Amino acid sequence: MRTVETPFAGVYIIEPQVHGDQRGFFMESYNNRTFQQLGFNHTFVQDNHSLSIEAGTIRGLHYQNSPMAQTKLVRVIAGAIYDVVVDLRKTSSTFGQWMSVILSESNKRQLLVPVGFAHGFCTITSNTQVIYKVDELYSPQLDRGILWNDPELNIDWPTSIPILSDKDNMHPLLKDADIYFD
C-alpha cells in the first residue's frame, strides 16, 4: 500500500497493492495494522455503499458537524468518479479551496477525507458503485451540505447539468453554511 500526499494536509490518496494473476486480482482494500503504522488512527464504525445509475450524477457536497464529524475512506468498485473535497477548516490557509481526484474500479485508488472537509463526487460512468468507511455513525441531525455549484467554490465539475437529489439541490452556499468542527 502506498500513500500519496495531496495539496491538503490530512487528505491522502491511498494505492493498495494489487496482486494480479490469471484468475483476476486480490488486494487488501483495508488493513487496520498498516493504517496504524502509517499513523492513521481511525476506528471505522460504518461501511456505506451507493449505486448511481447515470453518468453525470453528483452527490454532495456533504459533511457532518461535530460531535459526529466523520473521516471517510472512499473507493469505487464499479465505474469511475470525479471525487471532490473542499477544505472547511476555518483556520486553514486553504479554507474554501477544493481538489479532485479520479477514483475508479480500474485504478483502485482510495481517498482519505479527514474531518474538516466537505465531500462530493460526480460519476463519470453509468452504474457506478462507491463504497466508503466512516469513523462516526450517520447523524441526520448533524448532516450538512454545501451547494455543488457555489460560485465561490467554482468547482470544475465534469458536467454542468448533473442528476441531483432534491436535498443536494437545496444546500446553502459556503458563505451561509453551518460549519462546526471541534
Ligand X SMILES: Cc1cn([C@H]2C[C@H](O)[C@@H](COP(=O)(O)OP(=O)(O)O[C@H]3O[C@@H](C)C(=O)[C@@H](O)[C@H]3O)O2)c(=O)[nH]c1=O
Burial class (CB in 10 A: 0-12, 13-18, 19+), 178: exposed
Residue 114 in contact with ligand X, rule: CB under 6 A:
no
Residue 120 in contact with ligand X, rule: CB under 6 A:
yes
Among 37, 127, 154, 165, binds ligand X (CB under 6 A): 165
Whole-number Cα distances in Å, 99 to 11, 18, 21, 86, 172:
10, 26, 34, 7, 20
Minimal distance in Å, beta carbon 44 to ligand X? Answer: 13
Task: Identify whether 62 is a catalytic site residue.
Answer: yes
What one-character DSSP code corresponds to residue 57? B
Give the integer Cα–Cα distance in Å for 55 and 91. 35
Minimal distance in Å, beta carbon 46 to ligand X? Answer: 6
With contacts defined by CB under 6 A, name the span among 20-28, 33-41, 56-64, 89-97 that binds ligand X. 56-64
Grid cell at residue 131 = 463504497
Active site residues: 62, 132
Q: Which residues bind ligand X (CB under 6 A)?
A: 48, 50, 59-60, 62, 72, 119-121, 138, 165, 167
